Structure 1
Amino acid sequence: MFDFVRTHTRLFQFILVLLIFPSFVFFGIQGYSRFTEGGNAAVAEVAGRDITRAEWDAAHRDQVERVRRQMPGVDAKLLDSPMMRQQSLDMLLRERVMLAAAEKLNLTTTDDRLDRLFKSDPQFAPLRNPDGSVNKDFLAAQGLSVPMFEQRLRRDLTLRQVMQGVSGTQFAPESATGAALDAFFQQREVQVQRFDAKDYLAKAAPSDADIEKYYKDPANAAQFQAPEQAKVEYVVLDVESLKSSVTVVEDDLKKYYAQNEARYSTPEERRASHILVKAEKGAPADARAKAKAKAEALLAELKKNPAGFAEAAKKNSEDPGSAERGGDLDFFGRGAMVKPFEDAAFALKPGQMSDVVESDFGYHIIQVTGARGGDKKSYEQVRPEIEAERRKQLAQEKFSKDAVDFTNMVYEQAESLKPAADRFKLEIKTAQDVKRTPAPGATGPLANPKFLEALFAADTIRNKRNTDAVETAPNQLVSGRVVQYSPAHTLPLSEVKDKVRERVAAQQAAALARKEGEARLAELKKDPQAALPGAAQPVSRATAKDVPRPVVDAVLRADTGKLPAVFGVDLGDAGYAVARITKVLGRDPIAADTKQAQSQYAQAWGDAETQAYYAALKSRLKANVKDRAFAPDAASAPAR
């Protein structure tokens, strides 16, 4: 058989070409076509034009980059969440709707309008040069050229015109504004009698049957759930854990000390006073000679009376910054003064005076008044500091080398952390009652959501295997494993009986308060003028005072056509309240600025109209998301 094949090789090659090539053409190209169609698949449609997945991905990348520029430290997982991707699709859909509407309405932005807005609108001030031209460097930093910026700006201004006719023309008549403001700020005078459940707790007497019934009610099961938790062990590889395992050589420490002597020396400083006779470097020779002669004459006088230096500086120095202080320049180090001045000052001891010193500014007479610094710490004094620093450097180098081996070892020997702990001389740490989310006040690896997520992965829990090495901090890798796992479960009644009794007692107390409150309400309905404890007080939604919010809402909703109006309010577990409205008052003083409130109301109304107009445009232009998985209401739906 094989001899036949070898003998007729060319024949078989020809047959293979006939069979395989057509198959590749039919199936291979079709498969490749299906592969490339993934990026071109339509996820939405506007006015008969598709929005492809590739366009959606590009829009999402742009959105992510914008967020990262504004918030560099944002978590990358949040940026690629389903909610964030949905926002990107919504924004892209809105943009396409606006573009289609602008095209149908023949809206455009002329060059003159574009130029006028760019030069006059304050928001573009950072983009303008002093002459009004575009700042190309600023645009380049944003990854834009001038033509790209002009194109984007023109498009944005054109799209803005679509909505401007609605958003810029909102009108809020006084009648509508007044009704809306009354709903928020109208005051009503009310008397309230409360029947608090806590006052009836002494009368509550839960039986064992009541307790068992409450405990077994499925609606109450969540109250007695113990969350899932685990006993875990973990090892941490970081620079700190490696410090003890590195060897520090004494000669290296001494070499480090010699190379960094300046760090262990106090900079030498001088305090000096001076008298300056000005003579700029470019001044005529006779002018400089005259200035030098004056300085030498002053020096001769000062040598006779050194104590008069300050007074002589005030009268003769031509340095306005120091003359009024008697020439005092305070302390300065090397490099702070011009070289001739520095050399002369640092050559003197405190109390000594220099000869005339020539510089580019003229002629100086210097008197040193103080000296400090110049001290150097010995090697023995700084050795602990150098050793700690060197040990940290070596540990950092070792971490860089060990990180890969650590990652591989905890993965390849996943049944235990001991091999990794022995290999890298790490302590195996344990923790009880670890939950999926960081405990309040937790620190270290157990406060890191990524590590906890790895610990509670299904495979880690089921097979008790090591987690992958997780980076929980810069230069820190952690691997852990679940030793014992306890799933979420309902606690037995014996453990929560006291808690259940409290809940049942609270319910019974609330029922007693409600019963007595309803009886009181019935009496008041027969006699609305009957006395209620406590004085009447004005309340509004803006100022509730000590009146419970449900009572305030009920008071403001109540019909005030006939006063006094009496009604009851069920406060749930808190009890019951009976209220009587006696007067309808004006608006709360907090709403005194009616014009501002009217403006805010008009803006809110304009926003509502804009949203309604956008919804109408979407309907008119047949804008829709094709795949239900991408629909706005599917973003938070559970995966199937």
Structure 2
Amino acid sequence: MLQTLREKTSGWIATVIIGLLIIPFALVGLQDYLVQRGDVHVAEIDVPPSWWRGAPAWWPVSTLWEHERITTQEFRTRLENARQRARQEQGEAFDARAFETAENKRAVLEQMIDERVQAIAARESGVAVDDALVRREIQSIPAFQVDGRFSPERYQLALASQSPPQTPRQFEQLVREGVLQTFLASNLNDSAFTTPSEIERMIRLLGERRSVTLMSLPPATPDAAPVSDAEIQKWYAANAKDYRAPQQVTLEYVELDGSTLPVTAVDDEALRRRYEQEKNRYVAAEQRLASHILVRVPEGADAAAVEAARKKAEALAAQARAPGADFAALARANTDDEGSKAGGGDLGWVTRGLMVGPFEDALFSMKSGEIAGPVRTDFGWHVIQLRDLQAGAQESFEQARSALAREQAESDRERAFNDLSGRLVDLVYKNPSSLVPAARELKLPVQTLGPVSRDESTGILANPAVKRAAFSEALIQDGTVSDPIEIGPNRSVLIRVTSHSPERTLPLAQVRERVEEAVRMDRTRKAAEARARALVKQVQGGASLASIAQANGAAEPTQIPELPRGAPLGAPGVSEAVFSAAAPAAGTVTPGTEVLPDGSVVLFTVDAVMPGDVATLDPTQRATLQQQLQALQGASDVQALVRALRQRYRIDVVETNF
């Protein structure tokens, strides 16, 4: 057989066939067949070769295209960074399960693709990031600075503490890529501009006022006609998303509350021993009743100004020490401390730690009735009067007993809570599929909750941590008891999901009445819209709002002169409708309507339009508006650039690798 095979593959025909087979291997790359690729990617960006930008995307020319990939590791790193930011911003409200949605992951990936196509476009345009720019970018990062200056030691330490650690070369490459990715966008954004005519047009638009006349017609009689099966089926099919039951869980849980745990009676002997051990805690702090006069020294004052303030304070101190001097009157007339001026410099009773160091040192070295100063602090020069003092006193056991007893009870409850919690967890670990045996042994009630959805905050579900656990895949799929979840000081719960129903579309039979009601409401709304259109035609035909109101038994129309843009007009949407209507021609009005959710109709006419006055905006406000418009224009330009770049390249997303 081998000889026959050799003869069959030795002729010229076999040689031609083998040659033809080699061609596709050469075009697509033999290494793709022989080498096991280790890079798993979530997106691939195919770019036409630099020497043939118009290269078609069809095979075999497509094999000449360059390929840039976003690896799974890069994507996961970016996703984790986004997760940490969301956790910091949302705190306890952060929901890890909601963050892991496909939509959220896709949004993170789309941002990475946008950045990558900008970097590719920058390279195509010949942009290169030199080493000097990379160094400047790194040295400007606050995390690498000490006292506002770049620290090589801090830089090395920060890179080494990364997970995984990074070398300076690796980090420099990341910075280089980051600069490249934002180069086009930042420069395009900086190049945005607005003309004076655009600014003036925006001023006239934003400051526009309209004189309007409006009236309100009550809702028509609700539709009560029968709804056919065909209408029901059609509405249900078109609006199935409105008839979905949310994901729901039913829970059993055991709650541990340390405040409800019994404690043993307080032992006076034990309290006395604790009092003797902690006697220093029950000494009342020394207090001093003080007043002062402040001669303020401005920050950055020169030596002459400081000396002048000191001499003024010295003279005030001499006056205060004079026989019969009234310190309070002197303070009211001379102190620069506005907080104590009205009270004659009175600072009240002062304990250590309340005042700045030099002031406090002077005050607590004085005798009652003494006047000291001038004393220098960061605020200036002080003249201090000690009016009275109360020495620290030791509290007796009887005085401290209530505080000692309260602390002992809290300590006992905390110890009992920790002991009970530990015993409960140990018992649950022996049988993690049920709470009942462990709770029965410890004589704890097992409570139930549900079925409840993620949107509800009933009972323990008001705590975000409990809600996250209740709707986590682990507890739903395994049916096991959770770890203790802290919901307050010395208060925790252990939960178990006993039943779960996923989000689902409700059958028509179950929501038939709701569908019928929706069809009738839709009929009523359409009838109200038709009524509104008919009223507008009457106004266009020459009818006045007053005659329409009289014919429909409605209240007299209301005139509102010079209504500013954005001002509310009662019901939502009315103001927007008024300012969306076209400006009336001279001698005419522009009619319009807004149908409100309850079916009532607001009919209005725009009687006059007064544009904003350009002259009312001062130069500062005008400059601010210009900056805002330029920022909006720049952002719009960047979005347009990214859309154009994405159309130039071929982008393939591998969602299975998310």
TM-score normalised by length of structure 1: 0.59
**Which amino acid in the other structure matches residue 599 of structure 2?**
A
The reply on whether 1:134 has 2:162 as its aligned counterpart is no
Change over 3 Å in CA distance of 1:146–1:329 after alignment to 2: farther
Q: In the aligned structure 2, how far is the partner of 1:117 from the partner of 1:478?
A: 49
**Which amino acid in the other structure matches residue 527 of structure 1?**
G
Change over 3 Å in CA distance of 1:73–1:110 after alignment to 2: farther
Question: Whose helix fraction is larger, Structure 1's or Structure 2's?
Answer: 1
The reply on whether 1:170 has 2:184 as its aligned counterpart is no
Task: Find the counterpart in structure 1 of residue 601 from structure 2.
Answer: 576
Q: 1:609 aligns with which of 616, 637, 641?
A: 637
Task: Find the counterpart in structure 2 of residue 259 from structure 1.
Answer: 277
The answer as to whether partners of 1:134 and 1:146 remain within 8 angstroms in 2 is no
Q: In the aligned structure 2, how far is the partner of 1:368 from the partner of 1:580?
A: 76
Task: Find the counterpart in structure 1 of residue 256 from structure 2.
Answer: 237
Change over 3 Å in CA distance of 1:461–1:256 after alignment to 2: same
Q: In the aligned structure 1, how far is the partner of 2:387 from the partner of 2:576?
A: 80
Change over 3 Å in CA distance of 1:261–1:419 after alignment to 2: farther
Deviates more, 1:476-485 or 1:40-49: 476-485
**CA deviation vs aligned residue, 1:287-322 (integer Å, no higher than 9, x gap):** xxxxxxxxxxxxxxxxxxxxxx976899xxxxxxxx
Quote how far apart the aligned CAs of 1:627 are.
Answer: 0.7
Change over 3 Å in CA distance of 1:528–1:493 after alignment to 2: same
Name which one, 1 or 2, has greater alpha-carbon Rg: 1
The reply on whether 1:478 has 2:478 as its aligned counterpart is no
Change over 3 Å in CA distance of 1:472–1:214 after alignment to 2: farther
Q: In the aligned structure 2, how far is the partner of 1:143 from the partner of 1:231?
A: 47
Quote how far apart the aligned CAs of 1:448 are.
Answer: 2.4
The answer as to whether partners of 1:235 and 1:427 remain within 8 angstroms in 2 is yes
Change over 3 Å in CA distance of 1:548–1:191 after alignment to 2: farther
Change over 3 Å in CA distance of 1:573–1:410 after alignment to 2: same
Task: Find the counterpart in structure 1 of residue 462 from structure 2.
Answer: 447
Secondary structure of 1:163 counterpart: helix
Deviates more, 1:228-237 or 1:486-495: 486-495
Quote how far apart the aligned CAs of 1:612 are.
Answer: 1.6
Q: In the aligned structure 2, how far is the partner of 1:612 from the partner of 1:138?
A: 40
Change over 3 Å in CA distance of 1:75–1:313 after alignment to 2: farther
Quote how far apart the aligned CAs of 1:53 are.
Answer: 0.9
Quote how far apart the aligned CAs of 1:210 are.
Answer: 6.8
Unaligned runs of 5+ in 2: 1-34, 48-66, 161-166, 292-319, 326-334, 336-343, 371-385, 550-556
Task: Find the counterpart in structure 2 of residue 99 from structure 1.
Answer: 119
The reply on whether 1:469 has 2:486 as its aligned counterpart is no
The answer as to whether partners of 1:271 and 1:370 remain within 8 angstroms in 2 is yes
Change over 3 Å in CA distance of 1:434–1:168 after alignment to 2: same
**Which amino acid in the other structure matches residue 485 of structure 2?**
E
Q: In the aligned structure 2, how far is the partner of 1:388 from the partner of 1:60?
A: 49
Task: Find the counterpart in structure 2 of residue 436 from structure 1.
Answer: 453
**Which amino acid in the other structure matches residue 183 of structure 2?**
Q
RMSD: 6.1
Deviates more, 1:175-184 or 1:381-390: 175-184
The answer as to whether partners of 2:208 and 2:612 remain within 8 angstroms in 1 is yes
- The within-5 A match list for 1:612-627 is 612-620=640-648, 622=649, 624-627=651-654
The answer as to whether partners of 2:210 and 2:606 remain within 8 angstroms in 1 is yes
Change over 3 Å in CA distance of 1:148–1:477 after alignment to 2: same
**Which amino acid in the other structure matches residue 486 of structure 2?**
T
Task: Find the counterpart in structure 2 of residue 556 from structure 1.
Answer: 580
Secondary structure of 2:262 counterpart: helix
Quote how far apart the aligned CAs of 1:376 are.
Answer: 1.8
- The within-5 A match list for 1:15-164 is 37=38, 40-41=40-41, 43-45=43-45, 47=47, 48-64=67-83, 75=94, 77=96, 82=102, 85-110=105-130, 133-135=149-151, 139=155, 143=159, 156-164=178-186
> How many residues of Structure 1 are paired with residues of Structure 2 in the alignment?
517
Secondary structure of 1:574 counterpart: coil
The reply on whether 1:376 has 2:384 as its aligned counterpart is no
Quote how far apart the aligned CAs of 1:505 are.
Answer: 9.0
Change over 3 Å in CA distance of 1:247–1:213 after alignment to 2: farther
Quote how far apart the aligned CAs of 1:608 are.
Answer: 1.4
Change over 3 Å in CA distance of 1:223–1:389 after alignment to 2: same
Task: Find the counterpart in structure 1 of residue 437 from structure 2.
Answer: 419
Change over 3 Å in CA distance of 1:137–1:514 after alignment to 2: same
Task: Find the counterpart in structure 1 of residue 611 from structure 2.
Answer: 587
Secondary structure of 1:373 counterpart: coil
Task: Find the counterpart in structure 2 of residue 291 from structure 1.
Answer: none
**Which amino acid in the other structure matches residue 127 of structure 2?**
L
Change over 3 Å in CA distance of 1:261–1:44 after alignment to 2: farther
Change over 3 Å in CA distance of 1:108–1:527 after alignment to 2: same
Q: In the aligned structure 2, how far is the partner of 1:555 from the partner of 1:329?
A: 60
Q: In the aligned structure 2, how far is the partner of 1:599 from the partner of 1:341?
A: 54
**Which amino acid in the other structure matches residue 609 of structure 1?**
D
The reply on whether 1:196 has 2:221 as its aligned counterpart is no
Unaligned runs of 5+ in 1: 1-32, 274-308, 315-323, 353-366, 636-640
**CA deviation vs aligned residue, 1:29-72 (integer Å, no higher than 9, x gap):** xxxx98x94x6445433641222112222333445556667777
Change over 3 Å in CA distance of 1:556–1:213 after alignment to 2: same
The answer as to whether partners of 1:167 and 1:607 remain within 8 angstroms in 2 is yes
The answer as to whether partners of 1:136 and 1:146 remain within 8 angstroms in 2 is no
> Percent identity among equivalent residues?
18
The answer as to whether partners of 1:410 and 1:469 remain within 8 angstroms in 2 is no
Task: Find the counterpart in structure 2 of residue 390 from structure 1.
Answer: 408
**Which amino acid in the other structure matches residue 553 of structure 1?**
A
Quote how far apart the aligned CAs of 1:368 are.
Answer: 11
Change over 3 Å in CA distance of 1:159–1:391 after alignment to 2: same
Quote how far apart the aligned CAs of 1:413 are.
Answer: 3.9
The answer as to whether partners of 1:437 and 1:452 remain within 8 angstroms in 2 is yes
Q: In the aligned structure 2, how far is the partner of 1:81 from the partner of 1:598?
A: 39
Q: In the aligned structure 1, how far is the partner of 2:575 from the partner of 2:364?
A: 85
Q: In the aligned structure 1, how far is the partner of 2:404 from the partner of 2:570?
A: 65
